[in-house]
Amino acid sequence: MDERKIRILNAIIHSYLEIPIPVGSRKISKEYDLGVSSATIRNEMSDLEDLGYLNKPHTSAGRIPSDKAYRFFVEEWKDQKRALASDQKLYIVDLLKKAMYSTEELFSQTAKLLNEITKFPAFVLAPSRQDRILKQIELLPIHDKFLLVILVGDQGIVEKNILRLPNKISEEDLKSLKYSLNKNLCGVDFSSFDSVHIQLKGDMVEYKNLITAIVDLAIHLTEKVEKVDVYSQGLTSILDMEEFQDFSKARSVIKFMEDPRNIVEIFPKDTDLGDVHVIIGSEHKEEVLHENSLVTGTYAIDSNRIGQIGVIGPVRMDYPWIIDIVSTVAKNLSKSIQVM
């Protein structure tokens, strides 16, 4: 594409981002100093339409950018991100620091922050853990009727559950039970728990049901390890967008976003730390999102894993600004996690 077409296309995109009405050659000629006549702009717009960069609504003489145009715009401007104001960056840093009571609170606060700044539905994906082997089992009595069971994985995952005891258990039996469980389960791959057999002797036979319950907890730990937690905020923000005044259309998008499995599926796979991805309109596999764009960023959880954050908005979005927001929040989220 030659330089003149690029300047005209960028002018059309900027005009449409500012006011979502079809753009005509006269508006571009009047508001943008491109150094060419309205007739020349009109001819170039016709060529851009033939090339697939512009669409012409049936009811208007003007044109609107296509998904292809936005993709060209993103690729051209991705290294020239609009800098966030210093006070906005400080606000991001300060808010994430205040949410450092737990990683869950931090992820939840990050989704809220993204939604607050962008006004788009926002998501934080906390990926599955790398734990594969049970490292330790702790048993702590709670009064006479309850037992706190703590399962610790080899990479730090901790699962706590409270089981009801049929009878009071003596301190000696509790030590024997803990020894037997650790001997038979620790060092075992999570996927092999259902094949573990613990041989009981003497008085320990009466704790058969309790042992079975603890083994079941260990088996279900696999599901937690493999699960990707999704923290979301502002799903109904879609209703405030001009593109989704059709309630049935908006409802379909909201319903899709309400299912965490859908969110996990649409986020890009095999991402590297620092990556920012943009999926525009028809680039989505899911037709329900063909009028939406997804901007995602990556953050570090530890030396082996990365998580993702992202926002879903209309195809008509200020991509340089949104990319800068997502990138800035992701970087500061990484910093907050590392000092927790």
List, for residues 252-271, the tens digit of each pLDDT value.
Answer: 999 999 999 999 999 998 88
Q: Closest Cα to residue 16, out of 52, 70, 83, 68?
A: 70
> Is the sign of the CA dihedral 228, 233, 236, 239 positive or negative?
negative
Q: Look up residue 55 and give its two tokens.
A: 């669409």
List, for residues 73-82, the tens digit of each pLDDT value.
Answer: 999 877 665 6
- Name the one residue in this structure whose structure tokens are 């992202």: 310
Give the start-end residues of each E strand in the chain. 54-55, 64-65, 122-126, 134-142, 146-153, 158-164, 229-233, 276-280, 292-300, 306-314
List, for residues 33-56, the tens digit of each pLDDT value.
Answer: 899 999 999 999 999 999 999 998
DSSP 8-class letter at 160 = E
Ranges 282-291, 296-305, 310-319: which has the least confidence:
296-305
Neighbours of 56 (CB within 10 A): 14
Cα 141 to Cα 316: distance, rounded to the nearest angstrom: 58
pLDDT averaged over every residue in the chain: 87
Contacts of 57 (CB under 8 A, 6+ apart): 22, 63, 64
pLDDT at 139 over 90: yes
Q: Look up residue 261 and give its two tokens.
A: 């499995």
Asked if residues 211 and 200 have their Cβ atoms less than 8 Å apart, the reply is yes
Asked if residues 133 and 187 have their Cβ atoms less than 8 Å apart, the reply is yes
Q: How confident is the model at residue 116 (pLDDT cuts 50, 70, 90)?
A: very high
For position 89, what pLDDT does the model report?
A: 80
Tell whether pTM > 0.85: no
